[in-house]
Amino acid sequence: MQIRDLPYSDPGDPDVRSGPRFLYWLGRNQLGGQTKALCWGLLHQLGIAGMPVGVGLAVQAVIDRSGSRLALAGGLIAVLGIVLALGDTMLHRTAVTNWITAAARVQQLLARKTAELGSALTRRVAAGEVVAVSTGDVEKIGWFVEALSRFAAAAIALVGVCVWLAFYLPSLGLMVALAMPVLALAVLPLLPRATRRADEQREKAGKATELASDTVAGLRVLRGIGGEELFLGRYRRASQEVRGAAVRSARMWALISAVQVLLPGILLISLVWYGATLARDGRIEVGQLVTVYSAVTLMLFPLRHFEEIAMAYSFSRPSAQRAVRVLSLRRTAREATVEGVTPSGDLYDPATGLMAPRGQFTAVVCGDPDQAGRLAERLGGHAETGEESEDGEASVTPPSVLLGGVALDELPLDTARAAVLVQDKDPVLLSGTLRELLDIPSSGLVTAEAALEAAQCGDVLSALAQASPDNGGDPMRTRITERGRSLSGGQRQRLALARSLVTDPEALVLDEPTSAVDSHTEARVAAGIAKLRRGRTTVAFASSPLLLDAADRVVLVHEGTVVAVGVHRDLLRTEPRYRAVVTRETDDEAAATSAPHGAGEVPAMKNIQEIEERA
């Protein structure tokens, strides 16, 4: 796999049983790149290991006053220099390729998982953690995958040089061969503590990232309530904890580096002292001593790879564990079994009994807003499964929502997403122009102009036109800032609604689509939705009388079950629980409304009349 071939057509099915297994899976899927890096690494190490031989031959040739052998040694050094340069260059290219392709694979896996889970992702994993995984953690994982082949080449080179020295000059070679394992493994007792400190640092850094992300997202609200300094103070404390953890981690790695400098230094001093004694006694030649000394000096370079691979693993393991925590999330417990075209028909939820007939505008009233949000997600096939209850037991997976009698959980993900679109309470507007915002996959039957008109975006278009004089006053070419922060809440909500209407799905589910607009605009938006979506299945979760009155039918869901179905005005008169939600009655008012006769009858009728007048 080359960088020019990215992205992957299929990043694969990762092993998410644990962080180390995930790292192993990544390495196994890059065997070609790892093998190339290993071969170039061995060539590079061959150039390093051969250089002492050439230097030793040159020194001995000078001592023996042999011009021919000096020329031979010079030629050997020149060839080894070319080999060294070629191996180093190609090793760097292949290693960086392995790094980038591994990181790209992880990013594609994360992007695919994000698209699969949709809005359920941030309910199960903090947004800050997702950001940390897709940025810093991906880099650490790529580093370990890239360092693995270089470490393998260095380890093979060390073993080869030690064996060669043992045969070339046993008196010194055996000393080096026995010392090298000690040098390589001396830091192992320090690694567990260094790893724990690295884990602590990464954990604190992840929490700080989450806190920063949450603070930035809610900065406008924080300023409004005067809580900006409070949250900034929390972030300062969190960042100081990260700094302290980083210092403690750096101390351990500094100690490991010191050990890897001290022990080789002791080896070199011992080697020179003992070798000089042997050379003085005539038991070895000076050239041989220079060869062994140069070999041991250059062996310290591949020995550094042992420290690097330990550091890379200690940083990448918690990163891989966090990636696994996201990648192990599942959309449903069932596999897609139904292929073919997008189904059509009634939208039905067996768990609650909610039925949204095909081609009708159905409004759903829930007393609990959280329950409404969960039910809206279920209707779109976004339901979470496999969670544990408070007592630690696995919860029972509710039956799948049916569209035209076909279970959404049994459809391929792209087919289910095309069949039912869910717009949640807080839809996100991506940065870009308004034309780019509305240029999305759709049926092609609803134009952007018709969707904007139905969502009552006239004032939004005027504001965007005034904000873009350089574009000739064309609001469609005006750039929208990140998450639409330059717009008001009502403007963002209506633009998001227009985007959903442009998509024109078989079934459209809206969760409080008019909660941020005034009553006058809300009435027109409700009428626009009903007109534009005529003949298409539309479900709106709301408690506003203006929107409820525009619906073809209204369903009341109480404690997770459908308890009443009808039209708004009839339910307002006949269903006390419905009336309590729509009119926002207090407990005392509800008791008075439900009284069989007497003083309670007058307020009840008065409330109903006021609601009907507003509707």
pLDDT in tens, 324-350: 888 888 765 455 455 656 788 899 999
Sheet holding 537-541, edge to edge: 420-423, 507-511, 537-541, 361-366, 553-558, 561-566
The rounded distance, in Å, linking the Cα atoms of 365 and 397 is 24
The rounded distance, in Å, linking the Cα atoms of 88 and 95 is 10
- 329-342: b (≥16 Cβ within 10 Å) or e: bebbeeeeeeeeeb
Which pLDDT band, with edges at 50, 70 and 90, does 167 fall under? Answer: confident
Residue 121 in this model has a pLDDT that exceeds 60: yes
> Which has the closest alpha carbon to 303: 522, 481, 109, 48?
48
Return the residue matching tokens 């339901």.
383
Cβ-based neighbour number of residue 482 at 10 Å:
11
**pLDDT attached to residue 346:** 92
CB 49 within 8 A of CB 153: no
- Across the range 538-547, mean pLDDT stands at 92
CB 560 within 8 A of CB 366: no
> Which has the closest alpha carbon to 363: 542, 529, 492?
542
Cα–Cα–Cα angle for 514, 518, 520, nearest 5°? 100
- Across the range 358-370, mean pLDDT stands at 90
One-letter amino acid for residue 15 of the chain: D
Which pLDDT band, with edges at 50, 70 and 90, does 451 fall under? Answer: very high
| H, E, C per residue of 130-192 | HHHHHHHHHHHHHHHHHHHHHHHHHHHHHHHHHHHHHHHCHHHHHHHHHHHHHHHHCCHHHHH
Residue 382 in this model has a pLDDT that exceeds 80: no
Which of residues 247 and 387 earns the better pLDDT score?
Answer: 247
The rounded distance, in Å, linking the Cα atoms of 289 and 168 is 11
CB 526 within 8 A of CB 550: yes
Cis peptide before 7 (omega within 30 of 0): yes
| 303-312 tens-digit pLDDT | 888 878 877 8
- Across the range 207-218, mean pLDDT stands at 69
Residue 338 CB contacts under 8 Å (≥ 6 apart), including other chains = 406, 407, 410, 411, 412
Which pLDDT band, with edges at 50, 70 and 90, does 357 fall under? Answer: very high
Phi, psi dihedrals of residue 354, rounded to the nearest 5° = -75, 130
Asked which of 59-68, 242-251, 293-302, 443-452 is least confident by mean pLDDT, the reply is 293-302
| 4-36 tens-digit pLDDT | 778 888 888 998 888 889 999 988 888 888 899
Based on the number of CB atoms within 10 Å of its own CB, is 510 exposed (0-12), middle (13-18) or buried (19 or more)? buried
Which pLDDT band, with edges at 50, 70 and 90, does 388 fall under? Answer: very low
Report DSSP letters for 36-86, one per residue. HHHHHHHHHHHHHHHHHHHHHHHHHHHHHT-HHHHHHHHHHHHHHHHHHHH
**pLDDT attached to residue 362:** 95
- Across the range 276-294, mean pLDDT stands at 83
Residue 612 in this model has a pLDDT that exceeds 90: no
| 422-441 tens-digit pLDDT | 888 877 888 888 888 888 88
Return the residue matching tokens 């790892």.
34
**Helix (H/G/I), strand (E/B), else coil: 426:** coil
CB 541 within 8 A of CB 372: yes
**pLDDT attached to residue 563:** 93
- Cα separations (Å) of 321 from 113, 314, 317, 346, 537? 15, 11, 6, 42, 42
Q: Which of 253-257, 450-454, 457-461 reaches the highest mean pLDDT?
A: 450-454
Whether the model pTM is above 0.95:
no
Return the residue matching tokens 């080789």.
264
Residue 174 in this model has a pLDDT that exceeds 90: no
Strand 553-558 relative to strand 361-366, pairing: parallel
> Which has the closest alpha carbon to 140: 19, 4, 8?
19
CB 524 within 8 A of CB 466: no
| 544-594 tens-digit pLDDT | 899 999 999 999 999 889 999 999 999 989 999 998 888 876 555 555 555
- The partner residues of 557 in beta bridges, in order of sequence, read 366, 562
- Cα separations (Å) of 503 from 50, 155, 171, 421, 484? 66, 57, 80, 8, 19
The rounded distance, in Å, linking the Cα atoms of 149 and 599 is 85
- Across the range 376-380, mean pLDDT stands at 85
**pLDDT attached to residue 249:** 86
Based on the number of CB atoms within 10 Å of its own CB, is 10 exposed (0-12), middle (13-18) or buried (19 or more)? exposed
> Which has the closest alpha carbon to 529: 553, 495, 501?
501
**pLDDT attached to residue 6:** 83
- Cα separations (Å) of 382 from 168, 327, 464? 69, 16, 34
Q: What is the mean pLDDT of the chain?
A: 81
Q: Find the helix or strand (DSSP H, E) in which 284 lies.
A: none
**pLDDT attached to residue 453:** 93
Residue 536 in this model has a pLDDT that exceeds 50: yes
Return the residue matching tokens 């459209």.
508
CB 473 within 8 A of CB 463: no
Phi, psi dihedrals of residue 403, rounded to the nearest 5° = -120, 110
**pLDDT attached to residue 586:** 55
> How much of the chain exceeds pLDDT 90, in percent?
17
